[in-house]
Structure formats: C-alpha cells, structure tokens
Structure 1
Amino acid sequence: MISFKNRALWAAVASAIVAAVIAVAITRAADRPSGNDAQAAEETAVAQQSGTTTGEVKSFHLYATDGYLTLPGGESVYVWGYSLNNEQGTAVYPAPTLEVNEGDQVEVTLTNIGPAKTGIKRLAHTIHFHGLDVDQANDGVPETSQALLVGDSFTYRFTATHAGTYFYHCHVDTVEHLQMGMHGAFIVNAKDGVKTAWTGGPAYDKEYVMELNEIDPVWHKAVENGEPYDRTIFHPTYFTINGKAFPDTGGDPTTEITGDVGDHILVRLINAGYQPHSMHLHGHHFEVIASDGRPLEQRLDKDTIEIAPGERYDLLITFTQSGTYPFHSHTITDNMNNGVYPGGIHTMVDIAPADDANAVGVKKIGMKLDQPSATIDGKAAPMNVAPRAVDNTAYVPLNFIVQQLGGEVTPSETDGSIIYANDKTSIQMWSDRDLVVIDGRASARKTPLIDDQGIMLIALPFVSDMLGAGAKADYDAKSGDITIAAVPVALPVAKGMAGMDHGDHSDGGEVSSPDVSGIVVSMKDMLFAPVELKVKVGDTVTWVNDDPVVHSLADLGGAFDSGSIPPGGTWSYTFKDQVTYDYYCSIHPLMTGKLIVE
C-alpha cells in the first residue's frame, strides 16, 4: 500500500512529467505550420520526394458573391457565383475559367464576401474541384472539410497531376448553389502549356471550353426574394453554353467555333447542370479522345454524344470541308428559350477554305495592344490610334486596315452606320448596335465598331469578313500581339448593298434594306414586337428582321405572304381594308402577331 507521503511524491513526479510533455508539444507546435499551411507543407514534402514539383505555382483569388445574368429576350435572373473582383454583386455566370499546366502547384484562395442583395440568407460557400483527386482538406465538402462563412477565407492547395478537362463548384447545399451559378471550368493543359490534349497526346490548333447548363427561373426568383420553393419541381426553361443561349452564342468567341479547312479543334465539353445533353455536330464527325480528365484507350468516331451531369468529354474535330454548320444539343427541349425555338444549346461552326496566308501577294501586318505603331511586311508604320482590347476582343484602326489592304469606307447619311465595301463584299456596321449586315445577311453579333473621337476601331474578328476567307486575323491575349495576313482587295464595283433583294414578293409587299422609318414591327428573339398593333386604312407597316435567322410572315386568312425575309431584311405592306389580321412566321410558327386596321 502506498502511504500518503509516497502518494504525494508520486503526484509531484507525475506533474513534472506532464509539464515536460506539454512544453515539448508547445515547442513542436510553434515550429509547425497550422491548419491548411501544415497540410500544404506535408504535400510539398511528399511532392519533393516524388519529383513532381517542377511546375510553377499558379495562384488565383476568387470571391463568392451574387450578381445577375441576362438571357435572350432580355430576361434577367439573379445568380450566385464566383468573381475575380473583391466587390459584392460582381459574380459572373459561369465562373471564371481557371487554367494551369500539368505539374503546376495550384493555390486557389476563396473569400466569401457575401451577397450585395439584402434581405436574404448570408450563406457559407466552398470550392469542390470536380474530377481532381485532391485530399480531404481541399475537397470542399462542408461535412468533411471547411465551410466558409461570410468573411472567411481559405486557400485550396494541390498539384495538377493530370492534364484534362475539369470544373469546380460550391458543395454547400449543392442542389441550390450549383443551380444558382456557382460553377466554372478548370483546365489542366499539357506540361509547359504545349498545345496537345495531354502530355504526348494529339495536337490541336484551337480549343474551346463549353460548359453546358440549364436554368429554372422559378428557383432563381425564389432565392432572390428569400421565399421557399419546392426543390422536387425542377423545370428549366433556358439552356446555355457558357452562360449564353442561341442566338447570343453567335459571334461570341467562347461559343462560336471558327477555323480553316485542315485545322484540328479541341472542344472540351463540361456538363455542369442537372440534366443530360446530347451534342450533335453537322457536316463532320469528331473523335472522342478523353473522358473525365483521362485519355481513352480507344478513340470513338461519332457525330453525337450524350454527356451526363458532372461528365466531361474532350472532342477532336478535324475540319475537312468549308461552310457553316450547327453544333447543338439533340435533346429537343434544349433548343428553346422559354419555349421559343430556335434557342438554347445551339451554336455555329464557321469553317473557311484552307489557309492561304502564305500565298503570293499576301501582305502581313503586325500590331501590339496600346502601341500606336505597326509593321507592314516587317517595316515600321505609324498609326493615328493604338489597338485596344475590350471584353477580350482586340480592336484595330479601321482606316489603317483599309489603307493597307484596300476597299473603301462610306458613312451612311441616315442611321449613323458605316459601309465597308470592296469588289467582293459589302459590310454595314454600327457603333451603337449589336448588328452587322454582310452582303445583305445580318448577324446579331457584338458591336463591331468603337468610335474613338471620330476614329473608328473595328473588332478584329470582322477583319476576316472584310477581306475574305483567305485572310487571317489573330490575337494573342497573353502577349497582346495582333497579326493580319491577307491579299489586298480592289475597290468596289458600283452597286448598292450586295445581295439585297428589292423585288416584290406579294401584292402590296416588298423586301428592302434595313433602313426604315414609319410604322415598324421588329422580328427579334423569335417574337414579333409589338405583338399587337393598331393602324389606319392606308398605313404602311414595315417588318424588320433583327434576328440572325430567316423569318417570314403570312396572314392566317391568306391576305398576304412575305416569303422569306433574310437577316437584316425588311418587308412592307400597305393596308387598304378595315380588317383584323392574325399572322405568323411560316418557319417559326410560334411567332404570331395581330394587326387591327381601323
């Protein structure tokens, strides 16, 4: 039996031992990084032993907040997302694409700055890197790793070990946060950024990242208003590629695929939504070369592929013939905007004949962003204004291009547009309208012109339209280099807008140019606007096709029929009888209108 005296002695000894252990622990803790830093140090040590730290450290900082997305027809929906700006309300849909190289050490810091909108819940957020095999601490699942409340920050760290196509999204209440817009592409290129699908894989000339999704505005409106909604009822009415739906996909460099015959195009498909989509390409087959970030042992030759929620496929397309071809979902309901066809997951592939930029007579122009000088076939030439970049698009001085490569520019006296023309083409452009008319065919594309104190700068993609299919106009956003190569063109033959039809199409009706006045009905976003119109006997009404597709209009009773009205075209009719007309587009029968003659 231990006496009281001995027990006191043993207690003193035990206390000394515990104190010593605590002191050692405190010393070791002081020398060891804490939290995520400790995990990062351990990863670095392991990586150094395995020899995988040859890549660069790539760091990004994202901010979780809210914003708005505009859909075709002008509808705006409230979204949550990630932003590169430390400012509430600046979320973009989809989130910014993050791009690294195989072997890079990746650091992505997320700061939850909360929504700009008041009166709604201020929720936690995370980032889950979908398809990247990161450890538990960096997995972004709140049940197993850290959830970030408003005001919190966390840095996710991992090594990009496999080149491929991935994406990232919030994993807090994923059902809601993913639909609200918290998702973006994550691309791991081959080592050193070589333009191959993976290290040692097939080479490509251009690549496109296409993130597919669908939107149920009812969910977004409920979240915006802080109201409950039934999550078992999901009824999307908009379907998007990179946050855009047709016709807004046209002319957008992220969604409209362009190239020359012989080019190899890598398309990275990501399904960030809740429903499968079946992507079909016209005019070509493609090779399915990778799935979910891993090369396929056996490539598949297909023209249609179904991609399930969360899946990614890499497609390699070799352009074998020139022309313009649709690339769209063959899930039929995906091709509508709020029930209006065509729309949704649909874009175009524009393929020019084989590159002849090295042919005899080609003139080569070199420019650089923000520098008012150029080179013409290697010789220096001054410019009166420097090229600039707006929304990732390069703009160059129009008069300088015309001076070097031919054609002429004439201002319109009626609507503030300008007309560029040469012996093969005529292009009408505005600095305040998202419209361009090329040989009588209109495209609803981003504004092609910027007016810089009377000097016009033209968006670089339109230079190829001006100078023909053989022209090359390239822009490297990283270096700021701009290169244009084309055979100079001749002055125009005396003519009006090329290809514009002024002939009669029915009794009292006429197709004409887009310069109109008086009573006007617009055909835009697959709708007549206004839908209902009252006029008087003797009035003339002009319908203007502001869509990038052909329309028509016909009276249900057979009183008039316009025939086909091309994009940018118009059709006029003078009403002589006191009648109510119900009319429709023969090509898009959901487009209906009413005209009341009083």
Structure 2
Amino acid sequence: MIRSGTIKWYFFMLAAFFMLMLALSTHAHAAEVKKIQLYATDGSLTLADGKEIYIWGFSLVNKPGTAVFPGPKVEAEEGDTLEVTVTNIGPQQTETDFRVYPIRFHGIDTDNGVGQALAVGQSDTRQIKAIQAGSHYYYSGDANQYGVQMGMSGPFIVKAKGSSKQAWTGGPNFDKEYVFHLGELDPVWHKASEDGTVYDRSKFHPRYWTINGKSFPDVEEDPASMIHGMVGEKILVRLINPGNDEHPMHLHGHHFQVIAENGIPLAVPVDKDTVGLEPGETKDILIVFDQSGHFPFHSHKILDNTNDGVYPGGLHTMTHIEQGGSNGGSISLEIGSNHAMVNDGHVMLDVAPFQLKGDTYVPLNFIADQFAGTLQAHMGDRSFTYKTEHTKMELWPLQKQAIMNGQQVQLQSPVLQVKGTAMVPLSYVSSFLCAKVRAGSSPNSTFIEFQTGQECQSPDLDHNPPTVSADPPGGTYPSARTVKLVIRDEDPNARIYYTRDGTIPSEHSTLYTGPITIAQTTTLKFIGIDTSGNASEVTTESYLIQPAPEVFVDVLDDKFTPAQIKVKRGTTVTWVLKGTMMHTVTSYDGLINGTIDTNGRTRFSYTFNEAGTFNYFCMVHPFMTGSVIVE
C-alpha cells in the first residue's frame, strides 16, 4: 500500500525536476541573446567640400562628441534575439536642445507613437527577434524626424543563418555585399539644432546627399561606399533610405535584380537598371557583373548629385569591375595606403596596413575575400572565425593564442581590432594561410603570392631554424661602431632579438629593427626566431672600444727621431715638425703620404690597423728614412 506521504514526496521531486529543466532552458535561451550598447551624443561631420556640420547620433564609445553619421551598423542572424541598449550620455555642445527618444526598428516595429525622451544618463533597452533575413534601419523615434535628420539612424542587417553568403536562408547566393545608407542634409536645420533654436520644417531644403555619410568624390576613398568586383561575381547591395525624399538609383553598364523590399523577399525578382527608393524604404538588389570597366552608380535626380549646388557630388559612386581572376594570384600592399593591387586590379581596404613592433598588419576581411574565405565576427566574446574549405581558425583581439582546425596554435603577434576591422600580422598570413610574403619594390610595400584552396590544412610549421650574424664582428675598436645584425631564413617574417648586458636573449628581449651603435665596451647577444617558433643558436659578439694609443716621431731638418718604432695594431703614429723646413712622410708603397711645414700643418697622423713593416722617407730630403713595425 502506497502512503500519501510517499505520493507527496514523489510529486515534489517531479515538480522540482521540471523547475530545474525550466531554469536551465531559460538560462540557455538567455545565453543566446546578443547585446549591443549604443551611446547617444553629438559630433560633427566633414562634408565633401570641407565644410563641417553639427550632428546628433550614436556611438560605440562612452564619450560625448563621438557620434558618427550614420549610426554604427547593427547585425544579427536569422533566429537571433537582439538586445539593444541606448544610453543618453548627453552632448558635448551645451547650447543644443539635445533630445534622444527610444529607438525603433523600421520594418520590424510599428512606426506609430512616440516614447518619452531619455534624460541624460538614462537608458532604454529593446529586445527584438530577428526572424527574416533582410535590410532594415533603426532610428530615434521622434515625431518630427529631428533624430533622423541629425543623424540618429543606422543600418540594421539581418543575415542568413550562419552568416552564409545568401540573401536569406535558401535565397540567392552572392559573393560580396555592400550597405548603402542614404542621407539628405539641410545645413540650416543642423545649425538651428546646434544653436538650440527651433527649425521650421516647412522650409526643409537639403544641400548635401550622402552614401554612408560620404558624398562624391569622398566615396571613392571609402571601400564600403564604392563597389569593387570581378566579372562573374554576384554583388548584393542593400539600399536604405530613412530620409524624406525619393531617390531613383541607377547603375550604368549593367542591369540588376530587385530581390527584396523592406526586408521581405520578393516572390519574383524584378529586372531593373534604375530602382526608386521611397522615403523610409529599403531594397536589396543583386548585380551579376558581365563586363569589366568603371561604371557610375548614382541617383537619377540631378540635384541629388551635387554638393551645395556644385556638380558632380552627392549620391554618386562608382563600380570598379576587373576581369575574372584565377584560383590565386598576387597582392601588393603599401603601408599607410587604403589602395591595394590584386592581380593588377585595384581594391580598396577598410583600414590601411600599418607596422607595429616590427610586424605589418593587414585587414583580415580583405585577406578572406582574396583567399575565397569567409570571416564572421561574434559580438559576445568579440572573436572572429575565418573559414575556407580546409581551414577554420578562431581568433581573439589582443591574443596570441588561436584555435586552428581544433588545435591551439601560437601567433607571433596578437590580432588587433581597428575601427571594427580585424587586423592580422603578415606572419599569420605566411605561417597559417601558407601564402608567400616578401618585401615589395619600395621600402614600405609588401608582396603576397597566394593560391586559393591551397591554404594550410593543419598548423604544422617548418622546423628549420634561422642563422644570424653580426657585421662587423666583435673585436677591439678605437672608436664607436655601428653594428648590423643579419638573419637568414626562408620565413620573411623571422626576427632578431638581442641584449646588451650579457643576458640570454628571447622573444621578450629587444627586437632588432635597425643598426645598433656600440659606443662603449659591450657584450652583444642575439638570437633569430621565425614565425614557426624555430630559434637559432644564441650568438655572442664582444666589442672592446679602446681609444688607440698615440706614438710621436719628431721630424728634424735632417732625420726622423726615432727612425724606427714598434707599435700594436690600432696605434696612431703622429709625426711632429721640429725644424724649419718642409718635409713629407711617404711610404714606398704609396699607402702613406703626408706633408708638414712651418706655414701649414705641422703635424701628420696615420693609424696602423694592419700588421707588417711600413718603410717611409721624405720626398724633399730622400736621405731621411724611417720605419714602423706593426705587431
């Protein structure tokens, strides 16, 4: 017979089990929420003609005055739950009537209604579900569109699951994508907002039109706003218009397909060469390039193509289409330049290569594009995943440890993040992507040879250590010496580390970047280490800086005194005139030839660095002879 106490205990345990499962499920669900923090503040925007206007906007930095135009791009994947927090940190410009309203997501939220403005220091948090991949935008939800005009809007892109190169899961594939967030700016409105005065919206009169905050010709220096591709590539362009005017966007040289409107896929794509973009509308177009060349992509409204009345400008950009490439090729990069050459074709870089602590850094998204790879950023831990057919590598900013094909590997230099772009050292490209990296034709250039599909399939590295040497070698010198350290290795990114205090060098010692000046007695120890971790033997060179001794020979009117001397190597011999006539000190082999007289130089010196016997005489008085024996 089952007692009632036993039954109660059974149901208590069953309830506890379900509560535990619910808690675990809730925790797992919460862990999937992607969080983004935006800071509302003000800033300035430099226009194509050099003028600056005052803006409001959003920033990823908690610092007044750092707003960007448009706002930072927010991305999610199908099925993601996104939690966006906006914090009003206030403006840097104190006279402005700065107002921030809770943001809305156009095409996802209802656009009706206005929330309460956020006080300085106050935050608003929104949580939305990204159901369908597509193009949207977020904006400050005030009724008079002050926020949108002043810059409080930005692109919101929902990508296919896994960030695959599909417009949506099961949708058309593409090779590259671009986001064109359009803007129309009335400087009078911005000036009124800066001064804290009321703007009459009935007098709205835009004078500048922008793509991603830039107008022509500045868009040509912005890789996000000028399309680069090759014949045969499919390019997805996401057109976003949060403004007040319609913009008919036209592409020269090609037709394209309109595949989605306002984040919703079209049942049947529409072929166009011009697409009208109404206020508050987004459209996704797919371009298949079938000819090479440079083709304008611009608004068909003349006024849209001006900067404060000056043509050309505004909503005008270019497409640079190269002939189709092979399965590999070459890349030429220049430190400090956003321009790169790939197989003789021009490509714009998001961030220019730069040097840090002896290594050259390049943008990983650019490398991924050329190597037929994909690069995915993860907001949670700020990591990056680089994938090709053979390679999957997980990287973290500021870390030297990475995971390659499931194995932990050590990088020579850490991955960095600049303006949201992952920057990797060239040692990573050579060691882990198996490309050939060498110095270019100019001092600041780099040349990369690569073969797509031939990347390293494992993190195995070479096992051949470098060799190192010094020029000049150690020894006794009468004065300071400039010493060059030389490394020989197949790895172009192998480096030398050295110490000057006699301690054993390692990769934590001073990195050799140029000739070393040895001004006093020094023990120089150095080692070569390549990117695979192979190290040379520690080489030691001792430099004894010892001023040369000086020996004097008196030159009388009829003889040298003493006529014969013995000295050590490195000794300086000085002949001093003691008479009234001119004499020479001339060796029979012509190596030494000096003149001394009473009206000119009364001394002549020569340093003997080689062993041997050096016989000399006076050409004016040949009977005067002498010799120097150097031991």
Per the shorter chain, which TM-score range?
0.5 to 0.7
Question: Residues 438-467 of structure 1: CA distance to partner in whole angstroms, max 9, x if unpaired?
Answer: xxxxxxxxxxxxxxxxxx377xxxx79xx9
**Corresponding residue for residue 340 of structure 1:** 310
Root-mean-square deviation over aligned CA pairs: 3.8
> Which amino acid letter does the alignment assign opposite residue 116 of structure 1?
Q
Question: Residues 219-264 of structure 1: CA distance to partner in whole angstroms, max 9, x if unpaired?
Answer: 1111111223322111111110000001110031210111111111
Counterparts in 2 of 1:69 and 1:154: CA distance versus 1, 3 Å: same
> Which amino acid letter does the alignment assign opposite residue 68 of structure 1?
S
How far apart, in 1, do the equivalents of 2:221 and 2:126 lie? 35
> Which amino acid letter does the alignment assign opposite residue 104 of structure 2?
H
> Which amino acid letter does the alignment assign opposite residue 240 of structure 1?
T
Q: Displacement of 1:322 after TM fit?
A: 1.3
Q: Displacement of 1:351 after TM fit?
A: 1.2
Match of 1:408 among 417, 424, 441: 441
Say yes or no: does 1:85 pair with 2:61. yes
Say yes or no: does 1:217 pair with 2:187. yes
Question: Residues 190-209 of structure 1: CA distance to partner in whole angstroms, max 9, x if unpaired?
Answer: 12222111111001111001
**Corresponding residue for residue 72 of structure 1:** 48
Q: Displacement of 1:386 after TM fit?
A: 8.1
How far apart, in 1, do the equivalents of 2:68 and 2:219 lie? 16
How far apart, in 1, do the equivalents of 2:112 and 2:445 lie? 45
**Corresponding residue for residue 583 of structure 1:** none
Counterparts in 2 of 1:153 and 1:372: CA distance versus 1, 3 Å: closer
**Corresponding residue for residue 128 of structure 1:** 104
Asked whether the 8 Å contact 1:386–1:397 carries over to 2, the reply is: no
Asked whether the 8 Å contact 1:66–1:81 carries over to 2, the reply is: yes
Counterparts in 2 of 1:360 and 1:228: CA distance versus 1, 3 Å: closer
| Alignment of structure 1 residues 42-81 onto 2, 5 Å | 56-81=32-57
Between Structure 1 and Structure 2, the one with more strand by share is 2
Say yes or no: does 1:172 pair with 2:142. yes
How far apart, in 2, do the equivalents of 1:359 and 1:87 lie? 44
| Alignment of structure 1 residues 8-407 onto 2, 5 Å | 56-133=32-109, 141-142=113-114, 145-358=115-328, 390-391=418-419, 394=423, 404=437
Q: Displacement of 1:177 after TM fit?
A: 1.7
How far apart, in 1, do the equivalents of 2:236 and 2:314 lie? 22
> Which amino acid letter does the alignment assign opposite residue 295 of structure 1?
P
Counterparts in 2 of 1:88 and 1:301: CA distance versus 1, 3 Å: same
Question: Residues 260-295 of structure 1: CA distance to partner in whole angstroms, max 9, x if unpaired?
Answer: 111111000001211111101111110000001111
**Corresponding residue for residue 491 of structure 1:** none
Q: Displacement of 1:397 after TM fit?
A: 6.8
Question: Residues 516-552 of structure 1: CA distance to partner in whole angstroms, max 9, x if unpaired?
Answer: xxxxxxxxxxxxxxxxxxxxxxxxxxxxxxxxxxxxx
Asked whether the 8 Å contact 1:55–1:104 carries over to 2, the reply is: no
Counterparts in 2 of 1:457 and 1:385: CA distance versus 1, 3 Å: farther
Asked whether the 8 Å contact 2:100–2:147 carries over to 1, the reply is: no
How far apart, in 2, do the equivalents of 1:105 and 1:245 lie? 34
Asked whether the 8 Å contact 2:97–2:193 carries over to 1, the reply is: no
Counterparts in 2 of 1:86 and 1:407: CA distance versus 1, 3 Å: closer
Counterparts in 2 of 1:407 and 1:106: CA distance versus 1, 3 Å: closer
Counterparts in 2 of 1:129 and 1:360: CA distance versus 1, 3 Å: closer
How far apart, in 1, do the equivalents of 2:147 and 2:259 lie? 31
| Alignment of structure 1 residues 377-456 onto 2, 5 Å | 390-391=418-419, 394=423, 404=437, 408-409=441-442, 456=444
> Which amino acid letter does the alignment assign opposite residue 109 of structure 1?
T
Q: Displacement of 1:93 after TM fit?
A: 0.3
How far apart, in 2, do the equivalents of 1:82 and 1:390 lie? 18
| Secondary structure class of the residue paired with 2:257 | strand
Q: Displacement of 1:210 after TM fit?
A: 0.4
How far apart, in 2, do the equivalents of 1:391 and 1:358 lie? 28
Identity %: 48
> Which amino acid letter does the alignment assign opposite residue 249 of structure 2?
M
Asked whether the 8 Å contact 1:397–1:457 carries over to 2, the reply is: no
**Corresponding residue for residue 595 of structure 1:** none
How far apart, in 1, do the equivalents of 2:437 and 2:213 lie? 38
Asked whether the 8 Å contact 1:82–1:92 carries over to 2, the reply is: yes
Counterparts in 2 of 1:194 and 1:54: CA distance versus 1, 3 Å: farther
Q: Displacement of 1:389 after TM fit?
A: 5.6
Asked whether the 8 Å contact 1:54–1:104 carries over to 2, the reply is: no
| Secondary structure class of the residue paired with 2:320 | strand
Asked whether the 8 Å contact 2:254–2:290 carries over to 1, the reply is: yes
> Which amino acid letter does the alignment assign opposite residue 262 of structure 1?
G
> Which amino acid letter does the alignment assign opposite residue 408 of structure 1?
S
| Secondary structure class of the residue paired with 2:169 | coil
> Which amino acid letter does the alignment assign opposite residue 72 of structure 1?
A
How far apart, in 2, do the equivalents of 1:156 and 1:371 lie? 32
How far apart, in 2, do the equivalents of 1:109 and 1:141 lie? 19
> Which amino acid letter does the alignment assign opposite residue 227 of structure 1?
T
Give the structure-2-normalised TM-score. 0.51
How far apart, in 1, do the equivalents of 2:131 and 2:187 lie? 38
Counterparts in 2 of 1:54 and 1:383: CA distance versus 1, 3 Å: closer
Asked whether the 8 Å contact 2:100–2:140 carries over to 1, the reply is: no
Asked whether the 8 Å contact 1:205–1:264 carries over to 2, the reply is: yes
The structure with the largest alpha-carbon Rg is: 2
How far apart, in 1, do the equivalents of 2:330 and 2:58 lie? 49
How far apart, in 2, do the equivalents of 1:146 and 1:457 lie? 54
Note the residue ranges of structure 1 that are not aligned, 5 or more in a row. Answer: 1-44, 374-381, 411-455, 473-598
Q: Displacement of 1:385 after TM fit?
A: 8.4
> Which amino acid letter does the alignment assign opposite residue 409 of structure 1?
S
Asked whether the 8 Å contact 1:141–1:147 carries over to 2, the reply is: no
Asked whether the 8 Å contact 1:125–1:149 carries over to 2, the reply is: no
**Corresponding residue for residue 494 of structure 1:** none
> Which amino acid letter does the alignment assign opposite residue 125 of structure 1?
Y
Counterparts in 2 of 1:295 and 1:268: CA distance versus 1, 3 Å: same
Q: Displacement of 1:308 after TM fit?
A: 0.6
**Corresponding residue for residue 34 of structure 1:** none
Counterparts in 2 of 1:175 and 1:387: CA distance versus 1, 3 Å: closer
Question: Residues 389-423 of structure 1: CA distance to partner in whole angstroms, max 9, x if unpaired?
Answer: 6445658779x99994686226xxxxxxxxxxxxx
Counterparts in 2 of 1:386 and 1:129: CA distance versus 1, 3 Å: closer
> Which amino acid letter does the alignment assign opposite residue 265 of structure 1?
I
Asked whether the 8 Å contact 2:263–2:282 carries over to 1, the reply is: yes
Counterparts in 2 of 1:245 and 1:87: CA distance versus 1, 3 Å: same
Counterparts in 2 of 1:227 and 1:174: CA distance versus 1, 3 Å: closer
How far apart, in 1, do the equivalents of 2:31 and 2:129 lie? 9
**Corresponding residue for residue 36 of structure 1:** none
Counterparts in 2 of 1:86 and 1:385: CA distance versus 1, 3 Å: closer
How far apart, in 2, do the equivalents of 1:343 and 1:471 lie? 39
How far apart, in 2, do the equivalents of 1:407 and 1:64 lie? 44
| Secondary structure class of the residue paired with 2:189 | helix
Counterparts in 2 of 1:192 and 1:387: CA distance versus 1, 3 Å: closer
How far apart, in 2, do the equivalents of 1:372 and 1:457 lie? 25
How far apart, in 1, do the equivalents of 2:312 and 2:451 lie? 31
Asked whether the 8 Å contact 1:126–1:141 carries over to 2, the reply is: no
How far apart, in 2, do the equivalents of 1:195 and 1:282 lie? 25
| Secondary structure class of the residue paired with 1:328 | strand
Counterparts in 2 of 1:371 and 1:148: CA distance versus 1, 3 Å: closer
